[in-house]
Every structure is written in structure tokens, then in C-alpha cells.
Amino acid sequence: MNHNASVFPRYPGIDDRDSRIARFARAVADEAALARALEEADIVPQLLLQAHLSGDTDLLSEAAGYISGGWSFMETLPAALRAKIQARLIETLKACAAGRISSSLIPTRTELGRIASVGIGEMLADDYAAMFLEEMPSDSSSTDQRNVTWRLPSTPSLENFHVVIIGAGLSGLCMGIKLREMGIPFTIYEKNETVGGTWYENSYPGSGVDIPNHFYSFSFEPKHDWTRHFAKRDEIWSYLEHCADKYDVRRSIEFGIEMTDAEYDEASLRWNVTLKDKSGQSRVVSAPVLVTAVGVLNRPAIPDLPGMSSFKGALFHSAQWDHSVDVKGKRVALVGTGASSIQIGPTIAGDVERLLVFQRSPHWVISHPNYHLEVKDGMKWALENIPFFAKWYRFLLFWAAGDVLHRMLRVDPNWPTPDISLNAENHQFRQRLLDYIQSELNDRPDLIARVTPNFPPYGKRMLRDNNWYKMLKRSNVELVSEHVKEMTCDAVIDGAGQRHEVDIVVLATGFLATRPLWPVNVKGIGGASLREVWDDDDPRAYLGITAPKFPNLFMLAGPNTGLSHGGSYFFVAECQVRYIMQCLRELIERKYDAMECRVEPHDEYNRQVDEAHSRMVWAHKNVKSWYKNDKGRVAALSPWRLVDYWKLTWALNPTDYVFSRRAHPPAETSEAKA
């Protein structure tokens, strides 16, 4: 173990270390209260923590045979073993509070891997151990281990260096936080009235995350008092608001401002960015660096249906929910059966007179025991007060809802039933999903075939069951297995020609995910149009971040960086921001003005992306999804495991770029300077 720090390290984003020590000492002094809290906390993180802090591994060996995966709450350990783990942990925590264990006991990579392997029921690869170790504090004054720091003995001059960021969602906030910490000037322009991006915009009934929120959050800003295991929209949005304020980002944001054009000036080596406010007035700002953080779920896909303009009732997209419209007692058409629909439908079904769900194609739906549950008080206390407990819990969630699923989504070329499954594990999982459908709809056999997909699991986004199947059985709900053909002033006509009279139409029809940055016109070297280079819906970028002909343009949530096998986009954003911060450091310290991605690494990377996708479920012939562009190429998703992308973006390779300096400093004006 590494003895270079206190057992109460400074967790970035948490209150003062001394107050934590005092509070923890008081809490541990009441052993009965501590025992009660641990009874409500997940047992596997306790087991791993006990081995971590004490160095004793005998309980790991005793528990190993009972643990099969990362969902710690599901592991059933014998009562006597649970009691032994908790009793041993209490003694260890008392020793910590008394100072008898005085070091932080940061495990080595090998030690961490050995402990973690028991927690997930299989050997943890060394690279994964290294990635997880990065999230552990390394000393008593530790900051985020993903921070980029200056290599020079003193901070270099930042005169005339300014970063323009477009978008104040989670990626834009992460970029702003890290720029603020490094002292680099920036301005964020956000089209909405506040921060949050998709979590601000998607305020529809039932909106929430389908990823466990204890790792759907920044690693450097843990939140230990989440009310639910899968948080609803308001709590996630509030968390992002908190981050903007705590890290002093809000003062550098201009709200109600949208980018319409961006053009690279080859003479000054700067970006001229055209901005438009809510009144329609435009202005141009100039900056050496442009970072786009607009996301892929920000431009709703609105179908062009004949007769739509004639509809007299309320009509809106799920991401533009009209809260002035009361759905109670109304006839509602819900178009689409994706992630938004599966949250909206069950939430409003009990209030509406009639709910018509228009399904173009069915999705796979999986249940999760914690989806509707609140976090118990004892679990909250353990996460907040016990050193490293939250770190081990986050690791287990990261594993269970992340890369462990990736292998199930790879094509076995010798698999005998490629139309419905990919490999043995995928087929077994498919059977689990079929059994779940059967158990939910055994009294409605007419629905079973209609909700069963004809593609392998995870071909489209896996949906968390929000009582979807139960909703479909309601007497006031009808599943229409036809697309919407057209609309009239008071009805929706389906593909079979049947007329359905409705008062409200909700378009849960997704987003323009394969057209990132649309409708902005971005021009680079020689007037190259990014939209034309991308052939409108075939976006490509090196690491999903940079592209040839577009110097100093960095894309967050860029092409082929979306997640579908699992994981948290907060993690991806942190990886991308670290990479971009290294790029900015290279520019500033080496006194370059511009860096442009070379064609060769860009093209080779994208060749590897396409090759990897050809072996993954998302390219399956039976799958038509927003992951693919009109040509069938998977353009929105990353084919990589999270640990792969972490390694790809871990360190800048300067040879991937062409660096340049301008001949003369730019002429600045108050209007042109960001």
C-alpha cells in the first residue's frame, strides 16, 4: 500500500478535510448508529473497502464464491458472512478515526486489481485497474487526477488567448471547469436561459436517467445524497446548476446566445464566430480556439408529415414539452417507442382519457430492481462519510453498467442464428428478455409478438422498463403497430389508413444525432465547409474531437463518441476535456497559434472505427436506428470500450498535428475579441 497520505484524503468537490475528520470521528463513536447505517449500505463495497483499508484479504477469499458481477446490491452473501464483514469494517473504521491507521492506504495497481476482481467475480484487467486508480486521490491535497497542469516553472502568458465554448451542457461545463482551474480565459455561449443542455431541455413527464447516477456524474464532483438510484431530470439538472456555481463557471457564460456560423481566418489563425441573440441580432467574436459542446441530443428530429400544419390540437416534440398543455382527460397520440416515450407513456397513462402509442418498430426493454427505488439513508451516510466507500461503489457500477457488456455485443462469425443474436452470451441475454416479456404480458398474448424485436439485444438503445408493459395492458392504452402516415385537423392516420381522433400529439421521435453541429455553417482552411466534408450526415473526426482543415476546432460529444453498450457520458467528457486541455497546453507553452489534425491519423482512426463497428451489433442488418446515417454507417456511436477510449485520449501525440505560428499578431477590436 502507498503510505503517502492521510486516510481522509481531500476529495475534490467535498467540504474541508478537517471537518470531515471531525464528523467521521463523531459518527464512528456511536457504534450502534454506524452498524445501523451499514445494514442499509451495499455489502460488496464494504467487503472491498475492508480489504483496502485493513490489508486483510481473508474475507475476500471467503466471499468470492458468492459474487458474480458488479451489481453489488444483488449479491446474496450468507447472513453470518455479512455480519462478519460489517463487524470487521467497524473495527477498521474505529482504528481510522483513532488514528491507528494513519495512512490513506491507496492500493497499488496490483492490489487494487486483486480486490476489485473479487467484487466483480472475474479477473480485472490491468488497464482497467489503472483507469480506476486514476479516480482515487493520491495525496492529502489531491486534485482531480485527470487535471492537466503546466509543465513550465511559471504560468505562461495568456494574453490574447481566449477559448470560445458553444454549449453549457455537461460537456461544456466540464470544459469550463478545467479551463478555470488552469487559468485559461474562456466564454461559453449557451442558446438556453441556463445551464444543463439536454437535461434542461428535456423536461417531459417522467424524464430521468437510465444509468445509475452515482457514476452518471463528474468523478471530481461526487454527489452522495442522490435521492434515487436512477435520478429524475430535475435532480440531474440541479446537479449541473450546482457544478456551474461551485466551480465559478456561470460568470463566464452568456445565455440566450446561439452560434450560427464559424469561419477560420487563415491570416490571423483565429476563428470568427457569428452569434445570434433571442432578438435576432447578430455579432461576431474572434478567438484562437473554438470548442463545440452542443451534444448530439440537442436538435429534435421532427417528421415531415402530410397535414401536420392543419392539426388544430397541441403538437410538440418530447424535448420541447409544452407545460401549458394539460393532458388530463385528453386523447393523446404518442409517436415513437424509444427512450423518451418509455418514460412519458407510463407517467401520463393514468391521467389521459386515451393514449395511442404509435410504434414503428419494437425495442428491447429490461427491468432493473433499483430503477424506481430511493436510496436508503444508511447508504447515503456511508457514501458521504466512510472514506473510499463511494469510490468502490462507483467502480462496481462502472463495471456492471459498462464494459462488461461490450463482449456480448460482438459478432461471432460462426454463430448459427445471426439474425436474432450474435453469440452465446447475447443469445442467453435475449432469452432473459423474452422471459421477461412473457412474465409481464402472459395475460395478453396478442401483445407479445408485437413488442418483440427482430434484432439482437442492444442493436438499438436498451430501454429501462418504466412499467411500459404494464402500461400497454391498460384499458385506455392502445399500441398501434403502424407508422403515422398523415394528419388531419383532429386526427392521426396510420399506415393502414385507420383514423385516430386525438387532442394532443407528442412526437417522441428522437434527435438528429448523425448531424452534429447542424445547422451551423462551419468553414475551415480554404473555405472548406464542415457540412460538405461530412456529406451532411456522415461526420468523422480524429478521436471524435478534431478534423483536418479545421485548426483549433475541438469537438466535445463529436462523431462516433456516443455510448450504447453502457457507461456514463460524464466519463467520456472528462476524457475528451483532458485531451483538449493537453492540446491547449501544447499551443500555449510552445507558443504556437494553431494546430491542425493530419489527414493520415484522422483517416486511419476512422477506418478502425468502421472496421470495429462492422463486428458490433449496431451495424446489424435488421437494425434501423438513429445510430446510423442514411448510408447505413454507424456515425453516432463509439465502437470502443470505455477503457479503450480512456487509453486513446490519455495523452496527446503532437505528431498527429501540424503546428503553425502567425507572421504578425492580430489586430484586436472590442467587438471582434471574445
| Model confidence at 626: pLDDT above 90 | no
DSSP-H helix ranges across 305-385 = 339-348, 377-385
CA-to-CA distance for 254 and 168, rounded, in angstroms? 10
Q: Do domains 163-298+513-660 and 300-364+460-510 have the same CATH topology?
A: yes
- Amino acid found at 464: R
CA 548, 554, 555, 561 torsion-angle sign: positive
Residue 672 pLDDT level (bands cut at 50, 70, 90) = very low
Q: Which residues contact residue 414 at a Cβ distance below 8 angstroms, ignoring those fewer than 6 apart?
A: none
Instruction: List pLDDT tens digits, range 493-534.
Output: 999 999 999 999 999 998 887 888 889 999 999 999 999 999
Instruction: List pLDDT tens digits, range 281-337.
Output: 999 999 999 999 998 877 888 999 999 999 999 999 999 999 999 999 999 999 999
pLDDT at 74: 80
Give the cell for residue 166.
458553444
**Whole-Å CA distances, 289 to 14, 160, 292, 664:** 32, 11, 10, 18
Identify which of 200, 319, 294 has the alpha carbon closest to the alpha carbon of residue 573. 294
Q: What percent of the chain has pLDDT over 70?
A: 94
CA 661, 662, 665, 670 torsion-angle sign: negative
pLDDT at 488: 97
| Model confidence at 139: pLDDT above 80 | no
CA-to-CA distance for 368 and 6, rounded, in angstroms? 38
- Give mean pLDDT, residues 74-91: 93
User: Structure pTM?
Assistant: 0.93
CA-to-CA distance for 232 and 586, rounded, in angstroms? 40
CA-to-CA distance for 537 and 518, rounded, in angstroms? 9
- Give mean pLDDT, residues 83-97: 93
Give the cell for residue 482.
403502424
Give the cell for residue 394.
462507483
Instruction: List pLDDT tens digits, range 475-504.
Output: 999 999 998 999 999 999 999 999 999 999
| Model confidence at 427: pLDDT above 60 | yes
Q: What is the CATH number of domain 163-298+513-660?
A: 3.50.50.60
Instruction: List pLDDT tens digits, range 46-65.
Output: 999 999 999 999 999 999 99
Instruction: Supply φ then ψ for residue 143, to 5 degrees.
Output: -110, -175
| Model confidence at 224: pLDDT above 60 | yes
**Whole-Å CA distances, 561 to 146, 409, 564:** 19, 17, 10
What are the residue boundaries of the structural domains of the chain, listed by start? 17-145+378-403, 163-298+513-660, 300-364+460-510
CA-to-CA distance for 271 and 234, rounded, in angstroms? 36
| Model confidence at 3: pLDDT above 50 | no
- The third-level CATH classification (topology) of the domain covering 300-364+460-510 is FAD/NAD(P)-binding domain (3.50.50)
CA-to-CA distance for 286 and 69, rounded, in angstroms? 51
CA-to-CA distance for 566 and 353, rounded, in angstroms? 36
CA-to-CA distance for 420 and 457, rounded, in angstroms? 8
Residues recorded for the chain: 674
CB 1 within 8 A of CB 105: yes
